[in-house]
Structure 1
Amino acid sequence: MKKLIIALSLAGLCALPVAGQAAKYKEVSVSNGGTITGKVSFAGKDKAPKTYKISKDNDVCGTGTREIDYVRVNNGSLMDTVVYLDKVKTGKAFDASISNAVLDQKGCEFKPFLQVMKNETKIAAVNQDPILHNIHTYEIIGRTKKTVFNVSQPEPNTVTKTVKLKRGSAMKVECDAHDFMHGFVFVAKNPYYAKVAEDGTFSIDNVPPGKYTIKAWHGTLKDLKSKVEVTAGGTANADFTFK
């Protein structure tokens, strides 16, 4: 009997989630969900774009310099930002379009500069240039970066990789062969996110009633967060101002 009790206890421990391992998001039917709207703004002096020298493969990459505007501000509104609900376990289904992400390398640029993909799905890195690219992606964890994948692409081809982020919400994308190639991928762990429009506005719909932590992510600025309460069929507001 004692051996049986020990065996059952061990079985129960095996069924428990591993510490630090988040439960997977579960898609369910949402009835009478609410909506969160808001605007993302920028206050203060807008930083000038960063200038890089195009130092190699000029027949494909171009000549002179390239400017990358990491902080794009449009009449006080901050672009290239994703607003999302943190640690949501159940709710509406994911948009199928973000399950097959494609990152193009054309003219020695990453296109798009910022995109959204679903966590634990695949991204296709496409080299359309007749030269060597080496795509290197990093999980952004606060001020640190951790390699997700690092792949050499010596000729026009496609490399597909599964992305599974545990701690961070996004990846920085670089090319180890060309230091003037940069981009970002936001990796959604639940479908309650929105990439802001050019005027800084966003909307997240079909949110189950409840209280949430809502965050605003930007590739180079410090993340912001707030609290928001969603009522059945109602509309809540959440604004963010980066500095």
Structure 2
Amino acid sequence: MKRIIPLLAVAALAVPALAAELTGKVTLKGTPPPEVEITPLKNDANCGKLVTQTPKTIHYVVGPNGELANTVVIVKGVPDAKSTGASATPAVIDQKACLYVPHILAVQTGQKILVKNSDPVLHNVNTTRPNAVEGNPQQNLAQLAGAPDLTFSFPKPEAFLRFKCDVHPWMFAYVYVVDHPYFAVTGTDGTFKIPNLPPGKYTVEAHHRKGGSVTREVEITQAGGTVEFSIEAK
């Protein structure tokens, strides 16, 4: 006698595991070094006109209860994870008041980065490599005021690839290049969300450019998962 499997059961077998969301928060332990005024910007004949107060460095962006922004959180070990950067929405870096905005950005390999110049001055965008042997090829392009956006993309994963302006040497931004879409950058409240994860056990890394890296193990169910990190000020 043949066994008959109900149609609904067959349909259920064909449906993949539901994707879940990982949420969490990163906080800073300890007191970070004081930020420093960027006096060359204020004293610059052109850039100084674009600000009313002297900006400060933003190595640590910390909330009233230690909430740590600009931390890159990455999930490791997702089955069949691969970059979807070629079809992803382009990321954007702007040059405003002679500073890069945002200061920290994370993208996928192959994902476009559009660099805008909202300033009435000349900038140049120089992607310098922390690892000259294994890093992505260096690019160095000038961008006049009102010029079209510059487009960058990077084929290799790389931690905190540096964007700098040689015209204004205080200008820096850092791009973390990941070879899959399972990452996020914490906001000013220290929180992050990483969607579309299949349930399972994963290693999750939190990387702060100044505070270093912390690793946690987490299990994500169909209801989701949560993880918290504490990074020490250095």
Q: TM-score range by the shorter chain?
A: 0.7 to 0.9
Q: Per the alignment, do residues 202 and 129 of structure 1 end up closer, same or farther by CA in structure 2, a change over 3 Å counting? A: closer
Q: Given the alignment, which residue of 66, 69, 73 partners 1:76?
A: 66
Structure 2 match to 1:37: 23
Which segment drifts farther, 203-212 or 88-97? Answer: 88-97
CA contact (8 A) 2:104 2:175 kept: yes
Segments of 5+ residues of structure 1 without an aligned counterpart are 1-28
Structure 1 match to 2:201: 211
Structure 2 match to 1:6: none
1:166-198 CA-to-partner distances (Å, cap 9, x unmatched) read 242332222111122222333342221222233
Structure 2 match to 1:150: 140
Shift of 1:70: 1.1
CA contact (8 A) 1:43 1:76 kept: yes
CA contact (8 A) 2:125 2:140 kept: yes
Q: Given the alignment, which residue of 236, 239, 242 partners 2:225?
A: 236
Shift of 1:43: 0.5
Aligned length: 212
1:118-174 CA-to-partner distances (Å, cap 9, x unmatched) read 321222222232322111223455xx9876322122443135333225242332222
Report the structure, 1 or 2, having the larger strand content: 1
Q: Per the alignment, do residues 98 and 72 of structure 1 end up closer, same or farther by CA in structure 2, a change over 3 Å counting? A: farther
CA contact (8 A) 1:48 1:69 kept: no
Structure 2 match to 1:51: 37
Shift of 1:46: 2.3
Q: Given the alignment, which residue of 165, 169, 175 partners 1:179?
A: 169
Distance 1:33 1:92 in 2: 16
SS at match of 2:138: strand
Distance 1:165 1:239 in 2: 30
Which segment drifts farther, 84-93 or 129-138? Answer: 84-93
Q: Per the alignment, do residues 202 and 102 of structure 1 end up closer, same or farther by CA in structure 2, a change over 3 Å counting? A: closer
Distance 2:59 2:137 in 1: 21
Distance 1:180 1:49 in 2: 14
Distance 1:139 1:210 in 2: 35
Aligned: 1:106 with 2:90: no
**Counterpart residue identity of residue 81, structure 1:** T
State TM-score, norm by structure 1.
0.72
SS at match of 2:56: strand
Shift of 1:61: 4.5
CA contact (8 A) 1:136 1:176 kept: yes
Identity of aligned residues (%): 31
CA contact (8 A) 2:21 2:197 kept: yes
Q: CA RMSD in A?
A: 3.2
